[in-house]
Amino acid sequence: MIRFYTLPPSDVDWPYILINANNPALGYIRKHRKAIKSIIIDSGVEIFRNPEVKDYPKGHIYRIVKLHNHVRRILPDAEVYATVPDYCDDYHPGSLWLSSEITNIERTFQNVVKYTEKFDYVNWLIPVQGWNKQPKSIERCIKLYQGSGILSEFDYFAIGNLCVEPDVMIVYATCWLARKLLPDKKLHVFGLKLRALRLVKGFIDSFDSTAWTRPVNSKLGNWSCKNSEERRRFFKAWISRLNEILSQKTLVEAVQK
């Protein structure tokens, strides 16, 4: 079963929750703690949408660790994962590179090695980064993890370079390669689009999205939800579409049969 992580409407129970280090939604967690089975704490990488921002603010890692520890106290029986702060290349390609040798991949790797060692009690989700529109580049990241021992130490890895990728074939190639290189690991995809899910659902274990706030069919209109009733209606429609996709055969499954 593929897990779908999100932050649903405030009055809806959901077992798999995505929260952001910059906006932790602790009110939802407390209210629905009996229904929650697992939480992923995102690193807050969206700050890099601003091309002027080149690094996380000072002390950001402590915010993530503190939030991880706090959520574990609220939900002692749930799985709580914290994402190591990574550096993306899809918002503004090349803007987070320090040089051709120290790209966003190496910067992510450096954080992973540093913080997993410093905070070894945290249940880390390890980001796999790559270069914009270059699926094969994730191999560079995975080889660094393999050489450092990260690959053997952790079992949950998250593809982080597809959040704003519109080309489903790039998404497919990236997820296919990640599964090939990490055959015995759990794979998460950050920000996966529904239109790409049908192609990659055979390769992944989980994904997240908050795109349910926008309509998935014309019956819901062409706007983002504006009130609690619309939020419930949009979420229900999005989950219905998700279940429809998950019940369909993928192209790979059809060929195999």
Q: What is the pLDDT of residues 34-91, one digit of tens each?
A: 999 999 999 999 999 999 999 999 999 999 999 999 999 999 999 999 999 999 999 9
Q: What is the pLDDT of residues 85-130, one digit of tens each?
A: 999 999 999 999 999 999 999 999 999 999 999 999 999 999 999 9
Which pair of structure tokens corresponds to residue 23? 């906006």
Contact 138, 174 (CB under 8 A): yes
131 vs 22: CA distance, rounded Å: 24
**Structural domain span for residue 54:** 3-256
207 vs 194: CA distance, rounded Å: 10
Q: What is the pLDDT of residues 132-173, one digit of tens each?
A: 999 999 999 999 999 999 999 999 999 999 999 999 999 999
What's the CATH code of the domain at 53?
3.20.20
Residue 256 has pLDDT above 80, yes or no: no
Residue 228 has pLDDT above 70, yes or no: yes
E strand or H helix that includes residue 82: strand 79-83
8 vs 100: CA distance, rounded Å: 40
257 vs 251: CA distance, rounded Å: 10
> If you average pLDDT over every residue of the chain, what do you get?
93
Tell me the three state secondary structure of residue 16. strand
Which pair of structure tokens corresponds to residue 231? 């939020």
Question: Considering its fold, how many domains does the chain have in total?
Answer: 1
Q: Residue type at 245?
A: I
